[in-house]
């Protein structure tokens, strides 16, 4: 297993560690519920250094990004970012990702899922027919996400950059905690506000930034957070997790990602995906809340009232905020309307649930 620059610190702080995407990662420290509430109500820090980062440079960088991603990156100006996906040749999804515009029409950073770094790199490289300069900086880039309604207030103490003024999906670059060339963005995946802090892991900078964050944050209640609470937080917001809710066989239209799929440009499998939008799809990703007692889990079958199989659960948990069991899953389109009654098959028994409007938590 690989380690992040913070692995020894996680272990020293008593984190429960486990393998995730080839890395030794903290799953939880004091418990999912406590960590979840810390982020929803105050602030928490996640080590997400396992994520992948690619730099694309040159006059044809934007053209390459436009070819391989579903969203319209031409709309990006310096300091702005967008959520997007990489469609495959069949209209499925290679990965979902973030596109950061460092210098318009010249330099971009792509942030991809840890488990897909090699796959994404190979996919983009395959389509790089115009000599775009590509750099995989994943192994030397550290990434901390400080999330929660108080996160920007605490982090502002460590920089002269205007962190509290960052709008959603924007970023800035400068000195943070005495470290130069730190990129700070507001593109978090918890729905709780906050920032992500990218920097090169060199000359003890990782330790310097980690210690500075805890020095200002600990007295105010900032907590270290593991990946388990990261999952419950994103699920409450209805955010997709690659490998669970989206994959190589799911269309962006099925997954409710039509908003990041722009048909004003050409991209991989555009005709197929445009057909999904025009003609409709046979299944849709929906959010649901359990009516009867039971916890939905990944790959549980979904049935109608007569017991006919109509779909599958992709993500499920007990929501710490709501105190109810919630989930995401694909169901036949006829059962996808808000308020529809569905049944989650748990130990061969159909347990009643109801399709809900996303997000579960505002």
In sequence order, what DSSP letters do the residues of 261-326 get, joined into one string? Answer: --TTS--TTHHHHHHHHHH--SEEEEEEEESSS----TT-EEE-TT--EEEEEEEEEEETTTTEEE
Residue 76 counted as domain residue: yes
Asked whether the bond before 359 is cis by omega within 30 degrees of 0, the reply is yes
Residue 126 counted as domain residue: yes
pLDDT digits (tens, 9 = 90+) for 140-170: 999 999 999 999 999 999 999 999 999 999 9
> Would you state the pLDDT for residue 213?
98
DSSP letter (8 states) at residue 76: -
> Which residues of the chain fall short of a pLDDT of 50?
none
Residue 112 counted as domain residue: yes
Q: Which domain holds residue 91?
A: 53-138
CATH of the domain at 124: 3.30.70.1400
Residue 63 counted as domain residue: yes
Residue 238 counted as domain residue: no
> Would you state the pLDDT for residue 304?
98
Residue 73 counted as domain residue: yes
How many separate domains does the chain show? 1
Prediction pTM value? 0.97
Residue 188 counted as domain residue: no
Residue 38 counted as domain residue: no
Residues of the chain by 3-state class (helix, strand, coil), percent to 5 = 25, 35, 40
């Amino acid at each position: 297993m690989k380690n992040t620059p913070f692995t020894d610190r996680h272990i020293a702080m008593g984190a429960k560690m486990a393998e995730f995407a080839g890395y030794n990662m903290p799953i939880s420290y004091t418990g999912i519920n406590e960590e979840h509430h810390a982020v929803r109500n105050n602030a928490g820090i996640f080590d997400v250094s396992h994520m992948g980062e690619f730099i694309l440079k040159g006059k044809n960088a934007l053209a390459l990004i436009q070819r391989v991603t579903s969203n319209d990156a031409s709309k990006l100006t310096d300091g702005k970012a967008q959520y997007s996906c990489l469609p495959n040749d069949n209209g499925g999804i290679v990965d979902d990702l973030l596109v950061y515009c460092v210098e318009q029409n010249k330099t971009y950073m792509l942030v991809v899922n840890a488990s897909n770094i090699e796959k994404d790199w190979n996919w983009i490289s395959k389509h790089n027919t115009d000599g775009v300069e590509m750099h995989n900086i994943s192994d030397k880039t550290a990434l901390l996400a400080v999330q929660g309604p108080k996160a920007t207030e605490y982090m502002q103490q460590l920089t002269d950059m205007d962190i509290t003024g960052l709008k959603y999906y924007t970023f800035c670059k400068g000195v943070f905690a005495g470290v130069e060339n730190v990129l700070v963005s507001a593109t978090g995946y918890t729905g709780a506000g906050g920032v992500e802090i990218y920097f090169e892991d060199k000359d003890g900078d990782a330790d310097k930034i980690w210690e500075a964050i805890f020095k200002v944050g600990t007295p105010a209640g900032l907590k270290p957070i593991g990946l388990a609470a990261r999952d419950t937080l994103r699920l409450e917001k209805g955010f997709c997790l690659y490998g669970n809710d989206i994959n190589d066989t799911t269309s962006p239209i099925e997954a409710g990602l039509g908003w990041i799929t722009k048909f004003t440009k050409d991209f991989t499998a555009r005709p197929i995906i445009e057909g999904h939008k025009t003609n409709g799809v046979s299944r849709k990703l929906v959010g649901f809340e359990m009516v009867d007692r039971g916890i939905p889990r990944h790959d549980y079958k979904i049935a109608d009232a007569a017991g006919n199989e109509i779909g599958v659960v992709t993500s499920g948990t007990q929501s710490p905020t709501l105190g109810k069991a919630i989930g995401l899953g694909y169901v036949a389109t006829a059962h996808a309307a808000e308020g529809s009654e569905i049944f989650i098959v748990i130990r061969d028994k159909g347990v009643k649930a109801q399709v809900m409007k996303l997000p579960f938590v505002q």
